[in-house]
Amino acid sequence: MLPAGALAGRLAFVTGAGSGIGRAVALRLVSLGASVVGVGRREERLAETAALAGEGFRFEVLDVRDRDAASALVGSLGGLDLLVNNAGGQFVAPVDKISRRGFDAVVDLNLTAPASLVRAARPGLVARRGRVVNLSLSAPERGIAGLTHSAAARAGIAALTKALAGEWRADGVRLFCLAPGTVLTAGVGEELPAEALDRIVEATPLGRDTSLAEVAEWVAALGSGVADAVSGAMIELDGGSGLVGAASLTTGPS
């Protein structure tokens, strides 16, 4: 656990801050003294996060897929200490049942939109020698049956993290890819049937899911500078599931 005040004076930008991992991250960063700008598509959910966070958190309603609006907002912040690319989502379906529009939408939300945002944030990050934490999924390069669109996008964000760590090494900007295993948020419960969740947890070597608090603490730690000897790494916070590959999320032939 980080000590109180570990992020005092830092400015963080968190996407998807209205629920789930994004909310947990925003609350933890504020509790450690950071000023947090949180964005998301639903004002009422962001307002709930603000009520829980108290001082130190402000929000803007924003769809990160709106490139111009997202770039303008992050650019208006000036110096930035931490960018957390958390907003994402997917749906379970065999690949031949996913429309081109559906596939493109998932890739846009989980790869191209955060890629655009981190590029727009670069001047502010360079000014403060900041850090970027991109959220992914455990072992996306192994493929996840039923989530081919998301696995492709999440593997892409891991590759982007590594590539930018190399390109921006002279700027002092550090990038990390954090890949949780199964985190039982409300959103995950909507995306995946209960039997699929049970199979995933059972297939995990440690036999457990990953908590919101654990993900939030890792994001805070990476943003604090305790891992500044590292950049470009993918950290799998998954109970060991990346060692054996993901369980299939489909229950039969497509």
* Number of structural domains found in the chain: 1
Q: Are 14 and 39 in contact (CB under 8 A)?
A: yes
| Strand order across the 11-15 sheet | 57-61, 35-40, 11-15, 82-85, 131-135, 174-180, 234-237
Kindly state whether residue 231 falls inside one of the protein's structural domains.
Answer: yes
Beta-carbon contacts of residue 152 (< 8 Å; ≥ 6 apart)? 107, 140
Kindly state whether residue 251 falls inside one of the protein's structural domains.
Answer: no
Tell me how far apart the alpha carbons of residues 13 and 5 are, in angstroms, rounded to a whole number: 18
Kindly state whether residue 165 falls inside one of the protein's structural domains.
Answer: yes
Kindly state whether residue 4 falls inside one of the protein's structural domains.
Answer: no
pLDDT confidence bin for 237, thresholds 50/70/90: confident
Average pLDDT over residues 87-115: 91
Kindly state whether residue 2 falls inside one of the protein's structural domains.
Answer: no
208 has a pLDDT exceeding 70: no
- Please write the tens of the pLDDT for every residue from 140-165: 666 677 778 888 999 999 999 999 99
Number of residues written out for the chain = 254
Query: What domain range includes position 167?
Result: 11-237
Encoding tokens for residue 164? 């930018």
Kindly state whether residue 254 falls inside one of the protein's structural domains.
Answer: no
pLDDT at 145: 72
pLDDT at 241: 64
Encoding tokens for residue 143? 């493929």
What backbone torsions phi and psi does residue 181 show, to the nearest 5 degrees? -80, -140
CATH of residue 184:
3.40.50.720
Alpha-carbon distances of 15 from 1, 36, 46, 54, 210, rounded to whole Å: 23, 10, 11, 18, 20
164 torsion bin: left (phi>0), alpha (psi -120 to 50), beta (else): alpha
Encoding tokens for residue 56? 């130190």
Tell me how far apart the alpha carbons of residues 82 and 224 are, in angstroms, rounded to a whole number: 9
Tell me how far apart the alpha carbons of residues 103 and 153 are, in angstroms, rounded to a whole number: 10
Tell me how far apart the alpha carbons of residues 237 and 242 are, in angstroms, rounded to a whole number: 9
pLDDT at 253: 41
- Please write the tens of the pLDDT for every residue from 37-96: 999 999 999 999 999 999 999 999 999 999 999 999 999 999 999 999 999 888 888 899
Spatial CA neighbour of 175 closest among 111, 76, 83, 79: 83
Kindly state whether residue 227 falls inside one of the protein's structural domains.
Answer: yes
Q: Are 13 and 37 in contact (CB under 8 A)?
A: yes
Tell me how far apart the alpha carbons of residues 101 and 26 are, in angstroms, rounded to a whole number: 31
Q: Are 192 and 249 in contact (CB under 8 A)?
A: yes
Tell me how far apart the alpha carbons of residues 180 and 96 are, in angstroms, rounded to a whole number: 27
